[in-house]
Chains A and B, each alone.
Chain A
């Protein structure tokens, strides 16, 4: 990280742990529930959000001085919507099956609160380079949680990771299944995503007491 100053490093690293958009800011929960039944979908969503948020932050930052303040929310929405449509079209052209699986969720990036939140809270007041780092950092922080949740949901729910049968074959009863292990179908349903996110929040705040809010 010699390339980045201390401040810049903070922009990338903070959202990964102590200022995580999902577990600390509690933003972007909806998509964290919806698409984490499979690890692959989590990874693709992460990459898409990195692209949209990194680039979106730069665009907003570049035009921050000429955006009329009266319509700035609409301008922000237009920028996200345009970027999301581009992601959607590119996926349809180059990864058709995946775009079908993600389907509506790609469109839902537009309403991902993290994106509008970072535009409004950071990009409108900072230069393009810093905004880019902030965007990538927050998208990564979001992605880390998505991937952790996706990992456990796919492993415990389907017994696979990225589609590979890592625990053996549930029909032929090989591997773990030979000694009576069963997949937990409940892991594939949305409520379990919330519980996994809850466990991550619990672990994180136990390790770092400074994160616990006083009430």
Chain B
């Protein structure tokens, strides 16, 4: 190499120039694709909510959403009301409730500000579903999901997703064999107290026949992810208790 490219000042200049060029390029790409990516995320939310209440195109083993093209229409058809709950029982209707960012609301709550809880009321085959979004921590990164319940807080269906859990282990929370176990599970114990659903390694009921034990079978090799899912179900859905109590009256 020539002496020119070996000098310190040239090296520094080159580094600065490179950072500017690459930075500008990436900023341009990110901002020009942003609307399209946001749209994809919006569609995904609708698909997730519908999935939890059993509106999906599942075959016998894999989880398949309503297609991107149809989802807006189907969402309109099945989701009859979108609610925003504040203060536990203060309910407002809002057609954009599904766009509420749960992560942001969680940090609002932490700072002592009011937290908005979105709840989606759906109707399918004459049955009412209440779908709530939840969010928590897995082993590596965020885990989140949507849980569909009936008025007694019995789980009707669930969808879980994650940002970076280990493939083949924690990532299996979004597989049917795990998610399907939640259908029919009770969130409350026999006395009506909210206890959530534990993801249990010592579950004596691996076939999940007992729906009132507040337990589902854990995934082998994914203890921390499973605990994270159980913790988010417990802490997040508990917030909806006051609202569900008003439904009984």
**Using a CB–CB distance below 8 Å, which chain A residues touch chain B?**
34, 65-71, 74-75, 78, 82, 85-86, 89-90, 92-94, 96, 103-104, 171, 188-190
Contact = CB atoms under 8 A, between A and B. Distances in A.
B14 A82 contact: no
Contacts of A68: 5-6, 10-11, 14-15
B40 interface: yes
Contact of A67 (B14, B36, B163, B167): B14
Main secondary structure of the interface of B (DSSP, over half): helix
B29 A103 contact: no
B17 to A, nearest CB: 10
Interface string B10-28: 1100110011001001100
A65 B5 CA distance: 8
A89 B18 contact: no
A68 B22 CA distance: 17
A164 B118 CA distance: 38
B29 A86 contact: yes
A70 B6 contact: yes
B37 interface: yes
The A interface, classified by DSSP as helix, strand, loop or mixed, is helix
A189 B11 contact: no
A89 B37 contact: yes
B246 interface: no
Contact of B37 (A69, A70, A93, A188): A93
Contacts of B36: 93-94
Given A68-B14, A78-B18, A189 B6 contact: no
A189 B29 contact: no
B60 A93 contact: no
A96 B44 contact: yes
B1 interface: yes
A66 B5 contact: yes
Contacts of A82: 22, 25-26
B124 to A, nearest CB: 24
Contacts of B61: 171
Contact of B11 (A34, A71, A103, A190): A71
Contacts of B33: 89-90, 92-93
A84 B44 CA distance: 24
A82 B60 CA distance: 41
Contacts of B44: 96
A96 B46 CA distance: 14
B220 interface: no
A96 B163 CA distance: 14
